[in-house]
Structures are given as C-alpha cells and as structure tokens.
C-alpha cells in the first residue's frame, strides 16, 4: 500500500483516461495532474526550494492549488495552507511561525492585494496569474527528488481555526493523511463511480483530506468549487451527477434554504455527510426529507487527526445519528478521561482522547504545546464527550465552552440544538458571560429565517418547555449573521470579543 501522497497520485494516473477532477466545466485527468505537478516540482527546485522547506498556498479551491500541493509532496516540501479570508495579522503570524520561504497566491481577492501583502513576509511570491513571477513560470521540465521523501515526512501544515487562542500549525505527514483518507473512504464505501463536490477550503482537512484525498484513493471524481455557492451546488446535482453531498451544518442550512434546490431531483445522492460541528436534529430531519435515497452521516475530525476519526455507522438509527457524532473508524481508539486522566465509564462526561495512525506529528515549532496535546500517543481533543452503551460518542461541547451558571454546568451545544429546532431560527451560538449573581449566564446569538417575527422572549419560552430552567438562555441576541471560520464553523472567539 502506498504511503506517500505522490505515489497515490501516480497509482491513479496509471489509467491515462481516468478523470479525477471537474472544475469550471473542464475535466482534469489524474495523469494530467501528475504531469503538471512534476513540472511545478521542477520549478520549485529551480527556485531553491528543497526537502523540508515550507511553501505557502493562498487561493480558492482550484486545480492549480492541487498542482502546488502534489508538487511540494514530490520534493519533500511542506505546504502551509492559507485562506483568502485571512488578513494581515493572521497571515503574518502563520508565515513567520511556519518559516515559509515561498508563497503562491491569487493576485487579489475581495479587494486585497495579496502579492503586496506577502512580499515582506516571504522570500519569493508566485501568483496564480497576474504580474511578476507566475504559476506558469514555474511549470518547467526537469528532475524531481521524490525518492528522498519518506512516509513520515511532513507534507502540510494546517493552522487550527483559531476559535480560541493563537492558531497553531498542525504538522500532517504523508502517512497520516493517507491513513485518514483511506479509513474514511472505506467507511463511506467510495468507488470510482462516485462524484462529490469540494465546496470546503483546501487549507483545511475537510477539503484536502476528507474530500480530495478520499476521492483520490478510490478514483472517485471531485468537483472543485472556488467558493461555497448554494445556488451553483443546487445545479450540480443534475449537471455533474453528484452522488454525495459533504459539508458543515452551516452549508447544509444555506443549501436547503435555496429555492433552486426545490426544482432539482436528487435520486443519485446516496450519502450526505455533515461534519465540523454538532448537527442539530432539526437539520438532520430536513436532510433526510430532501435526500430520500441518501444515508445521512455525521463526521468528526480535527486538524490534529488529519481527517475523520468518528462517523455514523451505516446501521445507526435516526436518534443515534441525531445525538452523537458516530463511532470510531477502523484503527481509531478513543477514551473519555476525567480531570485526573482516569478513564470514565459510559454515560459520564469527560475529555475525549483519540489515538489513530492519522495523528499529526504535533505543532510546528511548539514542543510544549505538542507535549500537552499529544500524551503517550493520545490526542487530547479539548472536546467534552460521553460514550453511549453502544460505543457512539456524544459531544457536549468544547471544554472551554462549558460554563457554570449558579453551580450548574451548562453545555451550549445542547441549548443551541433546541434553539435551531425552532422553525424561525437558522443559526444559533451560545457563550457564557460574567454575571454578578450567578457567576456566568448563557448568551445566545441567533440568526432568524427571512421574514421571521419571533422575539427573544418567544425563544426563551420555547426553550423553557424543553430543557431545565438553568439551561434556558438568560440573554438572546438576534443578528443578521454570525462570524464564521474559513472552514465554515461559527467562530465563538469573535462572539466573546
């Protein structure tokens, strides 16, 4: 079994006619990607990039992004994934922290001149088109150094989404990424007949591992979308023959709200996967109704696991899918530990620990944080969880998100699920805020459906008949939108700010 990224690409490219990607109406064969990445790898070597050097990639989900990724893998360079949504402070931190020598970037996005912004942060800036040194300039003929690369070499640095604290760079290896991709692909029963959209960013494991690499190792086709556009995706179910739909809860909600989806038949969709956050039961019911031939699954993974480690079992009933994030995938072990590190029995809440062949090599340049997070081969996820009698994992929220109101522990995710079950609520996110009497109280930010007239008091009353009184939100703030990370998760750190 191949354990280097570029070997997996070469295996797929052995069939010269096999199509791996669709982008902008164009088909890209595995063999074409293999040839282009060979040429770009030669260009990187010509510009002084060597084994172990870090190169940053900043751009939307395109074939060119993947060319850079595969090329870097072939010479043992390490891709630092960046988002077009990042700005000066974030980019400066990530580039300096990673020590990236070269950056490949779009000329501009949303009015930001990225080449000018990056010029003072790296030695060399390459643009996907535009002026100066371009992507095409690095497509040259010449040797590559793939034989020097080992399966345990780093292939990518992915910065944690920064929902709390300063982002840290998780170091993904060839072996780890492929282990995660294969494990997920086997569980999802992917084949060369499947077509799935890649509407999540490639600088995150949801895009590069869960979608691109899982498709690569099974020869499935991946439809590359530069940005998440629910109107465009609605059309792809017919024009591209999608058999899977993969996204985070926010994306599912926005897609289901598009009238264009109502006019599309989706009989070929056999699997819908939701990941990145707890899926509310109300959302799962809508997905079941809209994709009647599909199995709906939850997926749980982290940057530090390089991809998925928990997924809904094929025979799980609706209640299990609605209340848990699934069971461990093959070769994945889990524990739930108390404050002193001792294992807790089923039903008790503690920190979720994970051990898997896909675990990353730690955080780049941060030995102390690596030692704290990766203890004796186990990843301390920071997520609070319980394990059911059947072995499914129920998330209770982030350890740092739980707050204590009047002596009672409150897990915001439980209340968020109640709020989003209301027909007028589209999104909800809760945090604990200081209170002089109760210590902390729950403040919940909600986004309402268009035309909704429900009030904060109405929503409190709605919650009061469904959950304990100490869990009922003390404050509800209505917003037009909520801040999201580049991976589509609600960014609670900005709500706290």
Residue where a domain stops, chosen among 149, 165, 185: 149
**368 and 429 inside one domain:** no
**311 and 252 inside one domain:** yes
**338 and 473 inside one domain:** no
- 86-106 pLDDT, tens per residue? 888 788 889 999 999 999 999
Burial of 92: CB neighbours in 10 Å, binned 0-12, 13-18, 19+: middle
**189 and 316 inside one domain:** yes
In a domain, 171, yes or no: no
pTM of the model: 0.83
The full length of the chain comes to: 497
Q: What is the mean pLDDT of residues 329-355?
A: 92
Q: What is the pLDDT of residue 162?
A: 44
**209 and 336 inside one domain:** yes
For the chain, how many structural domains are there in total?
A: 3
Q: What is the mean pLDDT of residues 316-341?
A: 91
In 3D space, the residue among 84, 92, 80 whose CA is nearest the CA of residue 303 turns out to be 80
CATH number at residue 385: 3.40.50.12780
In a domain, 208, yes or no: yes
Residue 400 banded pLDDT, cuts 50, 70, 90: low
- 100-147 pLDDT, tens per residue? 999 999 999 888 899 999 998 999 999 998 889 999 999 999 988 667
Which of these ranges, 280-294, 344-358, 403-417, has the smallest mean pLDDT?
Answer: 403-417
CATH number at residue 434: 3.30.300.30
In a domain, 105, yes or no: yes
CATH number at residue 115: 3.40.50.980
**110 and 215 inside one domain:** no
CA distances from 253 to 256, 261, 289, 318 (A): 5, 12, 13, 19
Domain, as residue range, for 244:
176-398
**94 and 187 inside one domain:** no
């Amino acid at each position: 079994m191949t354990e280097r990224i570029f070997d997996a690409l070469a295996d797929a490219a052995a069939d010269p006619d096999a199509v791996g990607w669709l982008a902008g109406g164009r088909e890209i064969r595995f063999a074409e990607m293999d040839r282009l990445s060979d040429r770009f790898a030669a260009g990187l070597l010509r510009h002084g990039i060597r084994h172990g050097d870090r190169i940053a990639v900043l751009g939307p989900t395109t074939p060119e992004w993947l060319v850079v990724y595969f090329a870097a893998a072939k010479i043992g360079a390490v891709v630092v994934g960046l988002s077009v949504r990042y700005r000066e402070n974030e980019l400066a931190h990530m580039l300096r922290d990673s020590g990236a020598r070269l950056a490949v970037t779009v000329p501009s996005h949303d009015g930001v001149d990225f080449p000018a912004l990056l010029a003072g942060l790296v030695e060399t800036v390459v643009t996907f088109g535009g002026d100066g040194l371009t992507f095409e300039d690095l497509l040259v003929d010449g040797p590559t150094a793939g034989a020097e690369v080992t399966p345990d070499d780093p292939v990518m640095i992915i910065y944690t989404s920064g929902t709390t604290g300063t982002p840290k760079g998780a170091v993904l290896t060839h072996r780890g990424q492929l282990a995660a991709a294969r494990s997920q692909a086997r569980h999802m029963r992917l084949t060369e007949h499947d077509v799935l959209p890649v509407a999540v960013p490639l600088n995150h494991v949801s895009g590069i591992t869960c979608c691109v690499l899982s498709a690569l190792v099974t020869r499935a086709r991946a439809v590359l979308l530069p940005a998440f556009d629910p109107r465009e995706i609605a059309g792809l179910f017919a024009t591209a023959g999608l058999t899977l739909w993969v996204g985070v809860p926010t994306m599912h909600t926005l897609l289901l709200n598009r009238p264009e989806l109502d006019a599309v038949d989706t009989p070929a969709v056999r699997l819908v996967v939701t990941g990145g956050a707890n899926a509310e039961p109300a959302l799962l019911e809508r997905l079941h109704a809209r994709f009647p031939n599909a199995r709906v699954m939850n997926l749980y993974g982290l940057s530090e696991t390089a991809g998925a480690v928990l997924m809904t079992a094929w025979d799980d009933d609706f209640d299990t899918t609605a209340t848990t994030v699934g069971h461990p995938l093959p070769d994945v072990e889990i524990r739930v530990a108390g404050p002193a590190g001792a294992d807790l029995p089923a039903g008790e809440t503690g920190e979720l620990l994970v051990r898997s062949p896909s675990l990353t090599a730690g955080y780049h340049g941060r030995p102390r944080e690596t030692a704290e997070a990766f203890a004796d081969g186990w990843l301390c996820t920071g997520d609070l969880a319980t394990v059911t009698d059947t072995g499914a994992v129920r998330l209770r929220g982030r350890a740092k998100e739980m707050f204590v109101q009047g002596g009672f522990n409150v897990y915001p995710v439980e209340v968020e699920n109640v709020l989003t079950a209301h027909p007028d609520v589209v999104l909800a996110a809760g945090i604990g805020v200081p209170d002089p009497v109760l210590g902390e109280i729950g403040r919940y930010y909600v986004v309402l459906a268009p035309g909704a007239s429900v009030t904060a008091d109405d929503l409190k009353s709605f919650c009061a008949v469904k959950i304990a009184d100490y869990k009922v939100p003390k404050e509800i703030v209505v917003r037009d939108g909520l801040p999201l990370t580049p991976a589509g998760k609600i960014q609670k750190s900005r709500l706290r700010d």
